[in-house]
Structure 1
Amino acid sequence: MAGGTWKMQNKVRPGVYINVKGDGKPVLTTPLGRLLMFQNEPLGWGKKGIIELTATSDFTALTGHNNTDEVLAPVYEALKDAETVLLLNDFAGGAKSTSTKDGVYTVNAKYEGEQGNNISVSFAPSPLADGANTRDVTVTTIFGTKQVDQVKITLPLPKADAIAAAGLTKEDQLEVHNDYVDITFGTNPADVTKELNGKGEYPLYTAIFNGLTQSAVNAHLTGGSNGTNHVADDMNDYLENEFYAVATTAGWDESSNIHKLLVEEIKLLRENVGIKVRAVVPNVRGVAYNYEGVSTVLNGYVLNNGTVVTPNIAAARFAGMSASATPDQALTYAQLDDAVEASPKLNNDKTIKALSAGQIVFTTRAGQRVVVEQDINSLTKFTDTKSKDFSKNRVIRTLDEICTNTTQTFETSFLGKVSNNEFGRDLFKANRVSYLSGLESQNVIRDFDPSNLSLAQGDDKDAVLMNLYVTPVDSMEKLYVNLIVR
């Protein structure tokens, strides 16, 4: 499915091509609350690719860390406002930690990485009852000092009737799997058979039973190593194929080229592919990106507990806020409930300079309140087709909502399904009029009239030309008062 902007009606691929112009001339899923982030250093654990995280996720199982660990600081800040963080954990190489007792068990960590070296597994046998054909063994998995899993397995005595009663053959192997380890019992059966030749009809189960039930066994995993971080190399593929509202390079050092790469890809997605997503990048250096799809964060803040959140971590907080903000909402003066002051604090002149440069600034208000000074993006050079309105994120969210909803509606309900004649175009127009009237009732746009929308046959028989005039609603931000004393 193609998309993007258009200058001539000469597109080849079926799709939706939308021009958004500043003067207003020329049910569906939503990415609201979903934030795409890029892990800036190896986690040493977790699946390769996207790890989906919410505030209630099991961070230890998914990332190998507590959510408050420094390596996850951007994620922790982002999830104060984002509903879901899609964390790209992309690496090459690395090794899983392991522990093996020949012929008895092999324990492999679930993922590559050094965090697997913190895993240990214990095998504790229960007393063998008189006349019993089986014996229970409790398998406990410990990550660091925390028990993360415990199961009980039942081993048949290594004799024919017990194994047959368990529904096993001498070739069968027992397994245990959880979020941390994969355990296989009776590994290398050929070797076991050779070593235990003449020791019974079922040497595999003789090895397992004797190895696990004579006394408690503790296995500590070793040999895990981290791979090389490949996030910057593969990020474009994920930017184009994941479902999110905002992407951020929060947490990365400002000297990294990844910030520029993200901005360029966001421009490409918005202009050439038709995916209306936005970016948030830390920007203490004051790089002039000058684009309505990119917001930059200049400073940070201090939390209630005294923790100083630096700008490159604070960018994750604003990115989470931006991902969750609706088209009828501006983040101007949105309060950070757990912060007491901006860091560094900017005086009036520096604040005005930063806002004029299109930067997000955290400011301190009376009563130890920290707020987003103004919900703007990095667009600072205005043209006839991109007026100052385009520098306001609420306006951009409105335009992006209309573009995304129109694209999804056309793709799912009209493309390839409805004839391109007057009747078919009237159906699509009725759908859009209903949708836009709904946005007006939600105070997202104003003064909408069905005559503001027209559809006509395009240059090709399969093309539809749609012209739409909308007036986004912005929020009150400035109050000018004449106070007259009589």
Structure 2
Amino acid sequence: MFGGGSFTSQNKVLPGSYINFVSAARAAAAVSDRGIVAVPLTLSWGPEKTAFEVTAEDFQKNCMAIFGYPYEAPELLPLREVFRYAVKGVFYRLVAGTKAANNYATARYGGVRGNAIKIVVAKNVDDESKYDVKTYLDSKLVDEQTVATASGLKDNDYVIFKKDSTLATTAGIALAGGADGETPTGTEHSEFLAAMESHTFHVLCCPVTDESTKALYVAYTKRLRDEAGVKFQTVMFQKAADYEGVISVENETEELAHGLVYWTAGAEAACAVNKTNENRTYDGEYTVKADYTQTQLSEGIKAGKFMFHKVGNEIRVLMDINTLTHYTDEKSEDFSSNQTIRVLDQIGNDIASMFNDRYLGKVPNDDAGRVSLWNDIVTYGNKLAGIRAIEAVTADNITVEKGQNKRSVTVSFPVEPINCMSQLYMTVVVQ
């Protein structure tokens, strides 16, 4: 991993990109796509204690093989919420369960879901020296093979066949003994977070309610954002972190107290840099508790809470904000807007990627090299301005200069993020 993060002085050791975001005193890089969410899972099927990526298309087409349940199953409700907007998920099953088995096969993954698998063996109607071996999940046929002996069976998405078994006609033998693991603790969540350090994502989903685990996610977010330069936001439930990298969902749902964390994580990850989730209609499946007075909504916003409220018969996002509530000269109130953070994170990630790919160890640190970097940054800034994510860039205000040693360059890139309209103040003059 390259070095990265913020800097106080030019004293870094590792090669990399060190970028500070501060509020201005009140006086050929591409804009990368968004939509990736990192999510820890406690399901009863799927790869265990390892990170795996699933696109929205894969989820819709292959969720049975990947997660063990059909798309519409209640067990997959949290994932349907994530993929309401997310384009890709980086998933990690926190706890390994016990694998179900019978005389012919062992479930590919541990967990109680393996007990729903059944193996049916029948004589092949065209060749009685062979057997038709069928794998069922619930009542759905998911695999069928014709073989002479068990040694010819090929493992499928659901079972690992016992190649030394003796095939015999059976109406169906269910796998048994499958069990879920223990409730995940901070240790399992720490392992998940460590695994995520080698993956790219825009939002980290923290679907927990205990304060100690939430504190772990906050510390992880601060460390990676501020020290490693990895720019993302973490969505969690009712956590006053006072930090621009943490979004705190306030509302509960009837079905699951912290259920809205999943929808919010997907919506925040997929939200473009020139857009906002403010006033977005909640279109998920949970029943949202949103009975607030105007005073409660106002106080919630001041406290940095991401809240949903009723507008007629709809549930909508009140304001697209994070938990930052104490402002400084370096981090003004602007930093509490998630749209502002999306713009700044996009700049940090894209410029760092461009520098690491095109300049680090490749381009001499001379006038020509620095002019090339300046041109790329100006071009990138103009692209952001073109999609109305930032105000128009003044090229003369962007500087790329030699740093304090022969290997370093210092960049000043003033930007003014644009936020979508939120408030209307109008005076109607009656003639």
Matches within 5 A, 1:228-307: 228=182, 229=184, 231-250=188-207, 252=208, 254-283=209-238, 287-300=239-252
Distance 1:338 1:90 in 2: 25
Instruction: Please list the CA deviations of residues 5-51 of structure 1 after superposition, one character each: whole Å capped at 9, or x if unmatched.
Output: 001111000000001011179x6694611111122x35254443224
Q: Is the 8 A contact 2:22 2:330 kept in 1?
A: yes
What corresponds to 2:276 in structure 1? 330
Q: Deviations over 1:114-144 (max 9, x none)?
A: 2212211111112466xxxx73321110112
Q: 1:341 Cα deviation (Å)?
A: 8.0
Q: Which has the larger radius of gyration?
A: 1
For 1:276, the aligned partner's letter is K
Equivalent-residue separation in structure 2 for 1:42 and 1:371 (angstroms) = 29
Question: How far off its partner does 1:297 sit?
Answer: 0.8
Aligned to 1:173, what secondary structure does the other structure show?
helix
Instruction: Note if contact 1:31-1:244 (Cα within 8 Å) is conserved in structure 2.
Output: no
Distance 1:399 1:72, change over 3 A: same
TM-score, scaled to structure 2: 0.91
Q: Deviations over 1:127-166 (max 9, x none)?
A: 466xxxx7332111011222211122245xxxxxxxxxxx
Q: Secondary structure at the match of 1:473?
A: coil
Task: Please tell me whether the aligned partners of residues 118 and 221 of structure 1 are also in contact (alpha carbons under 8 angstroms).
Answer: yes
Question: Aligned with 2:235: secondary structure?
Answer: strand
* Deviation sequence 1:50-96 (CA, Å, 0-9, x none): 2434341422322223444454432221211212222220225x432
1:9 alignment counterpart? 10
CA contact (8 A) 2:130 2:148 kept: yes
Task: Measure the CA separation in 1 of the matches of 2:369 and 2:360.
Answer: 11
Q: 2:300 aligns with which of 347, 354, 362?
A: 354
Q: Following the alignment from structure 1 to structure 2, what is the Cα–Cα distance between the partners of residues 435 and 173?
A: 58
Structure 1 residues 321 and 309, CA, compared in 2 at 3 Å: closer, same or farther? farther
Counterpart residue identity of residue 315, structure 2: V
> Which residue is equivalent to 1:164?
none
1:86 aligns with 2:41: no
Matched, 1:144 2:138: yes
| Larger proportion of strand | 1
**1:228-265 deviation per Cα after TM superposition (whole angstroms, max 9, x unaligned):** 43532312213322211001112x2x225221111111
Q: Distance in 2 between matches of 1:218 and 1:10?
A: 68
Tell me, yes or no, if the aligned pair for 1:440 and 1:448 is still in contact at 8 Å. yes
Asked if the contact 1:297/1:311 (under 8 Å) is kept, the reply is no
Which residue of the partner structure matches residue 399 of structure 2?
454
Q: Which residue of 2 aligns with 1:52?
A: 53
Instruction: Mark the runs of 5 or more structure 1 residues left unpaired by the alignment.
Output: 101-105, 156-171, 188-207, 302-307
Q: One-letter code of the match for 1:226?
A: D
- CA gap of 1:480–1:309, structure 2 versus 1, over 3 A, is farther
2:258 to 297, 312, 322: 312
- Do the aligned partners of 1:280 and 1:319 also contact (CA within 8 Å) in 2? yes
Q: Is the 8 A contact 2:274 2:388 kept in 1?
A: yes
1:380–1:391 Cα contact (<8 Å) kept: yes
Q: Percent identity?
A: 26
Q: How does 1:381-420 map to 2 (within 5 A)?
A: 381-420=326-365
Residue number in structure 2 paired with 1:74? 78
Distance in 2 between residues matched to 1:337 and 1:221, nearest whole Å: 38
The correspondence for 2:173, drawn from 180, 201, 219, is: 219
Moved more, 328-337 or 13-22: 328-337
Residues 1:98 and 2:101 aligned together = yes
Shift in Å, 1:217: 5.7
Cα distance in 1 between the residues matched to 2:50 and 2:61: 17
1:451 is paired with a residue of what secondary structure?
helix
Secondary structure of 2:236 counterpart: strand
Cα deviation code 1:364-410 (max 9, x no counterpart)? 113x1221111111111111111111111111100111110000000
Query: Which among 358, 364, 379 is matched to residue 310 of structure 2?
Result: 364
Contact 2:382 2:392 in 1 (8 A): no
The amino acid across from 2:87 in the alignment is E
Query: TM-score normalised to the size of structure 1?
Result: 0.81
Q: CA RMSD in A?
A: 2.3
- Pick one of 180, 188, 199 that aligns with 2:158: 180
Q: 1:438 to 1:68 in 2, by over 3 A?
A: same
- Describe the shift of the 1:30–1:123 C-alpha distance in structure 2 as closer, same or farther (beyond 3 A): farther
What is the CA distance between 1:98 and its match in structure 2? Answer: 1.6
Write the letter of the residue equivalent to 1:35. Answer: V
Tell me, in whole angstroms, the C-alpha distance in 2 between the residues paired with 1:296 and 1:68: 28
Residues 30 and 177 (structure 1), Cα distance of their counterparts in 2 relative to 1, 3 Å cut:
farther
Whether contact under 8 Å (2:399, 2:413) holds in the other structure is yes
Determine helix, strand or coil for the equivalent of 2:60: coil
**Range 382-391 or range 337-346, more displaced:** 337-346
More displaced stretch, 63-72 vs 356-365? 63-72
SS in 2 for 1:99: coil
| Residue-pair matches, total | 422
For residues 46 and 262 of structure 1, what CA distance do their matches in structure 2 show? 22
Within the candidate set 102, 105, 110, 1:107 is matched to 105
Q: Say if 1:437 and 1:241 are closer, same or farther in 2 by CA, change over 3 A.
A: same
